[in-house]
């Protein structure tokens, strides 16, 4: 328990007749980048609003860093909502100081943190600019600083890359990695799977308010692998592979690559032995693990079907 930054136990939230969060349980270990996945309307934002103390759960328990969630905890959380914004007519420096102080920093602490970030992003000249004088990309940097300048233990980013230009996306990504390496726990809520695969150590998949899948990314991929392998070869494509159905069946044979599914009771050695025995010049041999995207779609379809 001491190693989890966040624990959710049977969390329920409904709006009228609509059950937005349905008995969700999961733990987030400290210092990981944790992906919270789910289609639009799955209940991710509802869950985040409960964790950030914006709304209260109808039932269930939540612990932040070992303590039951309470009203002082928002100061330890940095939250960048999907719907984000800033006071347009307020100056950047003033605005960030205000937001930092709302998170419990003193004026001096806020100034110190801001000096660090302004130097880091090389934006010292923006201090006295009004937000609506900045370009969208510049505003996104300011928004990011607002989220992290109180050095939260837990950072919650809701679709952090939506609307970011590629340069800012890269910058923010490297900042997220840097914070993670310094020990900040990060919840990364998204429906963009390629980012999850790149950045997350752990994931939870939410669909229709329910936790439908959870675990380390590598472990989840193992769990959902389908015994598929890719074999690269040289020379003529092998023929008459059909008689090997005891060992494998051929899924695809394209561009010097075979994709095969190893049959139950057979293993990779049986496969290689067979191929070599049939004079196939093997150049490469890889296991095909499902992408998070595939797993996501499969699980969502399964839960829709059930």
Partner 1 sequence: MDKLWLIIQREYLTRVKKKSFILITLLSPLIFVALFTVPILVTLFAGKEQKSLLVRDDSGIFVPANDTSANVSFVVAQEQLSELKRTYKLRGFDGVLHIPALQGNEDKLKLNYFSEKQLSLSVVSFIEQQVAKQLEAKKIIDAGYSEEIMKGFKTDVGIEQEELAFNKEGQLVETGKKNSAELATAIGFIAGFVIYIVLIFYGAMIMRSVMEEKTSRIIEVIISSVKPFQLMMGKILGVSAVGLTQMLIWMVMTFVLTQVATAFLGVDPSAMQSSMPMQQPPPDVIASQAGAVFEAITSQNWSYILPLFLYFFIGGYFIYASLFAAVGASMGDDMGESQSLSLVAMAPIILAIILISPVIENPTSSLARWASIFPLFSPVLMPARLAFEPPLWEVLLSMVVLAGSAVFFVWLSGRIYRVGVLLYGKKATLKEMVKWTFSRE
CA distance 209 to 46: 9
Q: Is 116 in the site for partner 1 (CB under 8 A)?
A: no
Report helix, strand and coil shares of the chain as percent, to nearest 5.
35, 30, 30
Among the listed ranges 79-87, 111-119, 232-240, 283-291, the one in contact with partner 1 (CB under 8 A) is 79-87
Establish if 101 lies at the interface with partner 1 (CB under 8 A). yes
Q: Min. distance of Cβ 237 from partner 1 in angstroms?
A: 56
Q: Is residue 88 a contact residue for partner 1 (CB under 8 A)? A: yes
State the angle between helix axes of 136-148 and 107-120 in degrees (0 to 180), rounded to the nearest 10.
130
Contact residue for partner 1 among 84, 141, 153, 202 (CB under 8 A): 84
102 is an interface residue for partner 1 by CB under 8 A: yes
Site for partner 1 in 4-23 (CB under 8 A): 15-16
Cα 250 to Cα 252: distance, rounded to the nearest angstrom: 6
| Token pair for 169 | 């996306």
Contacts of partner 1 in 58-77 (CB under 8 A): 58, 71, 74-75, 77
State which residue, 85 or 255, has the beta carbon closest to partner 1. 85
Check binding of 273 to partner 1 (CB under 8 A): no
d(CA 157, CA 80): 5
Provide φ and ψ at 30, rounded to 5°. Answer: -65, 145
Q: How many whole angstroms separate alpha carbon 64 and alpha carbon 60?
A: 14
Query: What binding mask, one character per residue, do residues 119-148 give for partner 1 by CB under 8 A, x or -?
Result: ---------------------------x--
Distances from the Cα of 179 to the Cαs of 92, 266, 283, in angstroms? 23, 45, 41
Interface positions with partner 1 (CB under 8 A):
15-16, 49, 52-56, 58, 71, 74-75, 77, 79-81, 83-90, 98-99, 101-103, 146
């Amino acid at each position: 328990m001491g190693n989890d930054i966040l624990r959710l136990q049977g969390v329920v939230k409904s709006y009228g007749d609509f059950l937005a969060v349905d008995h969700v349980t999961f733990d987030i270990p400290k210092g990981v980048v944790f992906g919270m996945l789910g289609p639009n309307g799955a209940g991710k934002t509802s869950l985040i609003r409960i964790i950030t103390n914006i709304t209260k759960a109808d039932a269930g328990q939540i612990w932040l860093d070992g303590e039951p969630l309470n009203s002082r905890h928002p100061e330890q959380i940095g939250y960048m909502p999907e719907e984000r914004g800033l006071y347009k007519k307020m100056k950047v420096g003033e605005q960030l100081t205000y937001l930092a102080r709302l998170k419990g920093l003193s004026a001096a602490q806020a100034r110190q943190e801001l000096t660090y970030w302004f130097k880091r992003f090389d934006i010292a000249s923006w201090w006295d600019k009004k937000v609506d004088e900045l370009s969208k990309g510049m505003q996104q940097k300011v928004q990011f600083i607002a989220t992290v300048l109180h050095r939260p233990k837990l950072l919650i980013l809701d679709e952090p890359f939506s609307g970011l230009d590629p340069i800012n996306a890269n910058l923010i990504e490297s900042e997220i990695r840097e914070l993670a390496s310094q020990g900040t726990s990060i919840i990364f809520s998204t429906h963009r799977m390629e980012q999850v695969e790149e950045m997350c150590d752990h994931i939870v998949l939410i669909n229709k308010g329910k936790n439908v899948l959870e675990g380390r990314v590598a472990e989840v991929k193992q769990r959902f692998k389908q015994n598929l392998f890719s074999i690269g070869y040289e020379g003529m494509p092998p023929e008459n592979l059909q008689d090997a159905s005891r060992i494998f069946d051929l899924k695809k044979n394209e561009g010097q690559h075979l994709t095969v599914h190893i049959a139950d009771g057979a293993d990779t050695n049986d496969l290689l032995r067979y191929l070599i025995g049939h004079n196939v010049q093997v150049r490469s041999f890889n296991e095909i693990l499902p992408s998070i995207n595939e797993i996501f779609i499969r699980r969502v379809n399964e839960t829709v079907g059930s």
